[in-house]
């Protein structure tokens, strides 16, 4: 079983990202489960969402406590919460940032990508509030590889509430541009 | 078609497949997505139904009664405070023998205000005369709504049903669900025909009129008989569903019970976590079994008595609490097992107000259950509660 935790801010679409990832994994032939942190969501407040991916049906229904990967939609969250909490040894952190993996000092595999500029290039959201949740799935596909970019794009087209093509293209561009810190 | 759905979406699809005629509603967390989707189905022309937004849950269930009396197939959805606000009308729906089906996002009751999962809302309506089903997964939620219509509408039953899906843990969780084909559902449910007297201007009649002491008890007795008959109808419908759709249901689901010394009894979404926990423990050689209760009303006394016969310890996992007694499921199991003196029945209050039910939770349950094999333990055990903090506060 592979478990993923998304960190975002209310309104950024972390929950939708977790759902689309589950959908893409399902298309890949896996069993999948996704859910929001069962909380009261307010715009701008830190939120979490989760995806589980497995080869066999997923029976457990408790929160994710030790994810294999964390996806950070908003780099400002790195200063206020410990995004690595419970992260399994050898786990991966995927961060939406204009910085590169070498700029971070985590004892984990780090992948970075600039979802904000990709989102703006594809006219997704505004500069004050870019929609980055589809681009990050492209980065996820590049970094984790258990879900192909093709299935990510298909899932986005099926599940994105608007601008399906633009969102799918943003994911593709993120896939191309993601920097994997562990590949020199 | 197998696809990824959240629990609320599965419920909405079930109502659409059942071709409901009327959906009166008032939205409430965590089941709001159900009416949202039904309104979309109606607006898109995918579902030919009357969508009636009302001013409260009290009005929503009242409208459901009116529509059902006119001979419509009626669905609605609510949770928690919404269900509590429906309380007095629930008895009218069952007393008038109307086969309304309601989806519930099982959620705690206030105070303090809490939007998360437990079974207190439906347990508080245990005696309202509605059939009660509890889903373990989104698939079960969809299937149980479909079957509830067939059971409720059966002439031998004619009682309303509620189908519970755990708040957030199911309502907001996306997972694979097989949406049955429309023609298969049509075949299974048949065209809706009210098998009871309906409102008709050509044949005026009064419904829900006065029942004097001369008549009232007979109406209650008739409800008792209908509930008793429902036990058999449920078996029939579950069987037919299994044959048609390949997914098998039973009032209680027994796993690993044959050689078990300790049996866990669960209801709803924590069952899967309990199953995984028990599988791990069985690898360590521990003889633990699992019984999931899917039908809580009518209560499956015969099945439970048979399944628990000769077991040493029964650990009842209650996601509800009746102050002054203990867990509601515990009470039912205790009464059912009266006279079976070799079986110890222990209550575990867990997961109230959305507290996560994890392997650790079951580890603590098992610890106490194992201890009871050697000697006496508390009858009612609150698991993962900060007792010290409460006691300190109470002493002030």
What is the percent of chain B with per-residue pLDDT over 90, rounded to a whole number?
A: 97
With CB atoms and an 8 Å threshold, state whether A62 touches B172: no
With CB atoms and an 8 Å threshold, state whether B174 touches A58: no
Instruction: Give yes or no: residues B303 and B367 share one domain.
Output: yes
Average pLDDT over residues B22-39: 98
Residue A180, pLDDT above cutoff 90: yes
CB B286 within 8 A of CB B279: no
Residue A20, pLDDT above cutoff 90: yes
Average pLDDT over residues A11-38: 94
pLDDT digit string, tens, across residues B38-87? 999 999 999 999 999 999 999 999 999 999 999 999 999 999 999 999 99
> Which runs of E-coded beta strand occur in A19-148?
31-36, 46-54, 69-72, 92-96, 109-113
pLDDT at position A10 is: 87
CB A24 within 8 A of CB A147: yes
pLDDT at position B240 is: 98
pLDDT at position A40 is: 66
pTM: 0.97
* Distance of alpha carbon B286 from alpha carbon B279, whole angstroms: 9
Task: Tell me B109's DSSP state.
Answer: P
Task: Return the H-helix or E-strand segment holding B106.
Answer: strand B101-106
Homologous superfamily of A2-180:
Pyruvate-ferredoxin oxidoreductase, PFOR, domain III (3.40.920.10)
Q: Which residue of A has its CA nearest to B359?
A: A62
Residue B389, pLDDT above cutoff 80: yes
* Distance of alpha carbon B151 from alpha carbon B133, whole angstroms: 11
pLDDT digit string, tens, across residues A33-71? 999 986 666 788 899 999 999 999 999 999 999 999 999
pLDDT at position B179 is: 98
* Distance of alpha carbon B74 from alpha carbon B22, whole angstroms: 5
Instruction: Give yes or no: residues B28 and B94 share one domain.
Output: yes
Domain ends where: B245, B262, B277? B245
CA B181 to chain centre: 25
Instruction: Give yes or no: residues B303 and B258 share one domain.
Output: yes
Instruction: Give yes or no: residues B364 and B318 share one domain.
Output: yes
Distances (CA, A) of B281 to B15, B333, B362, B367: 39, 24, 11, 12
Instruction: Give yes or no: residues B13 and B115 share one domain.
Output: yes
Domain ends where: B245, B280, B298? B245
A9-23, A108-122, B124-138: which is most confident: B124-138
Interface test with A, best of B136, B174, B255 (most A CBs within 10 A): B174
Three-state SS for A22-33 is: HHHHHHCCCEEE
Q: Which domain holds residue B71?
A: 2-245
Largest distance between two CA atoms of chain A: 42
pLDDT digit string, tens, across residues B169-196? 999 999 999 999 999 999 999 989 998 9
pLDDT at position B298 is: 98
A4-13, B196-205, B239-248: which is most confident: B239-248
- Domains of chain A, residue spans: 2-180
Q: Which residue has the higher pLDDT, B10 or A39?
A: B10
* Distance of alpha carbon B349 from alpha carbon B357, whole angstroms: 11
pLDDT at position B254 is: 98
Per-residue b/e over A88-111, b at no fewer than 16 CB within 10 Å?
A: eeebbbbbbbeeebeebebebbbb
- The percent helix, strand, coil of chain A (3-state, each to 5) is 35, 20, 45
pLDDT at position B18 is: 98
Size of interface A-B (CB pairs under 8 A): 64
Instruction: Give yes or no: residues B83 and B178 share one domain.
Output: yes
DSSP-derived secondary structure for A113-137: E-HHHHHHHTT-B-SSSB--TTHHH
The CATH number assigned to the domain holding B355 equals: 3.40.50.920
The CATH number assigned to the domain holding B188 equals: 3.40.50.970
Residues of B with CB under 8 A from a CB of A: 3-4, 6, 115-117, 167-170, 172-176, 269-270, 272-273, 275-276, 354, 356-359
Instruction: Give yes or no: residues B209 and B347 share one domain.
Output: no
For chain B, the domain total comes to 2
Lowest mean pLDDT among A137-146, B181-190, B201-210, B342-351: B201-210
Domain ends where: B245, B264, B279? B245
Task: Tell me B326's DSSP state.
Answer: B
* Distance of alpha carbon B152 from alpha carbon B149, whole angstroms: 5
Mean pLDDT, rounded, of chain A:
94
To the nearest whole Å, the CA of A75 is away from the closest chain B CA by 26
Average pLDDT over residues B310-314: 97
pLDDT at position A161 is: 83
Count CB-CB contacts under 10 A for residue B207: 14
Coil/strand/helix, residue B8: helix
Task: Tell me B322's DSSP state.
Answer: B
With CB atoms and an 8 Å threshold, state whether A32 touches B357: no
Instruction: Give yes or no: residues B99 and B158 share one domain.
Output: yes
């Amino acid at each position: 079983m592979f478990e993923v935790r998304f960190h975002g801010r209310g309104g950024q679409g972390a929950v939708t990202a977790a759902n689309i990832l589950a959908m893409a994994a399902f298309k890949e032939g896996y069993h999948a489960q996704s859910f929001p942190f069962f909380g009261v969501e307010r715009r701008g407040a830190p939120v979490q969402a989760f995806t589980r991916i497995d080869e066999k049906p997923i029976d457990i229904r408790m929160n994710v406590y030790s994810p294999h990967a964390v996806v950070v939609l908003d780099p400002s969250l790195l200063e206020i919460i410990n995004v690595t909490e419970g992260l399994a040894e050898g786990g991966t952190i995927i961060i939406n940032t204009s910085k590169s993996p070498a700029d971070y000092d985590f004892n984990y595999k780090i992948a970075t990508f600039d979802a904000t500029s990709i989102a703006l290039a594809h006219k997704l959201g505004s500069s004050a509030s870019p929609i980055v949740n589809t681009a990050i799935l492209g980065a996820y596909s590049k970094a984790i590889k258990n879900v192909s970019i093709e299935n990510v794009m298909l899932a986005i087209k099926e599940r994105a509430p608007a601008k399906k093509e633009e969102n799918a293209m943003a994911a593709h561009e993120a896939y191309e541009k993601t920097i994997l810190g562990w590949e020199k | 078609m197998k696809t990824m759905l959240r629990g609320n979406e599965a419920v909405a699809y079930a109502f659409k497949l059942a071709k409901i005629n009327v959906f009166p509603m008032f939205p409430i967390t965590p089941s709001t997505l159900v009416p949202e989707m039904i309104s979309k189905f109606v607006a898109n022309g995918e579902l030919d139904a009357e969508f009636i937004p009302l001013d409260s849950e009290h009005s929503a269930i009242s409208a459901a009664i009116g529509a059902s009396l006119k001979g419509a197939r009626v669905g609605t959805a609510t949770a928690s405070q919404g269900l509590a606000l429906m309380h007095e009308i629930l008895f009218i729906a069952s007393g008038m023998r109307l086969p309304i089906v309601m989806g519930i996002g099982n959620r705690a009751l206030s105070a303090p205000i809490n939007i998360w999962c437990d079974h207190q809302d439906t347990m508080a309506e245990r005696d309202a005369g509605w059939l009660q089903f509890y889903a373990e997964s989104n698939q079960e939620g969809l299937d149980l709504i479909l079957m509830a219509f067939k059971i409720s509408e059966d002439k031998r039953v004619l009682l309303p049903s509620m189908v519970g899906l755990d708040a957030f843990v199911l309502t907001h969780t996306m997972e694979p669900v097989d949406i049955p084909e429309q023609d298969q559902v049509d075949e299974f449910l048949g065209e809706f025909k009210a098998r009871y007297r309906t409102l008709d201007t050509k044949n005026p009649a009064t419904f829900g009129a006065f029942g004097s002491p001369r008549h009232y008890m007979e109406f209650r007795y008739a409800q008792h008989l209908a509930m008793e008959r429902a036990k058999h109808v449920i078996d029939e419908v579950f069987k037919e569903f299994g044959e048609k759709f390949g997914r098998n249901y039973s009032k209680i689901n027994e796993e690993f019970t044959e050689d078990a010394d300790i049996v866990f009894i669960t209801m709803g979404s924590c069952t899967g976590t309990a199953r995984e926990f028990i599988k791990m423990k069985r690898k360590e050689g521990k003889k633990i079994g699992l019984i999931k209760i899917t039908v809580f009303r009518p209560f499956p006394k015969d099945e439970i008595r048979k399944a628990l016969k000769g077991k040493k310890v029964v650990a009842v996992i209650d996601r509800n609490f009746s102050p002054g007694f203990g867990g509601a499921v515990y009470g039912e199991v205790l009464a059912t097992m009266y006279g079976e003196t070799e079986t110890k029945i222990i209550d575990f209050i867990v997961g109230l107000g959305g507290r996560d039910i994890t392997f650790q939770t079951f580890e603590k349950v098992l610890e106490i259950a194992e201890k009871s094999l050697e000697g006496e333990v508390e009858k009612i055990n609150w698991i993962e509660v900060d007792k010290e903090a409460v006691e300190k506060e109470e002493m002030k």
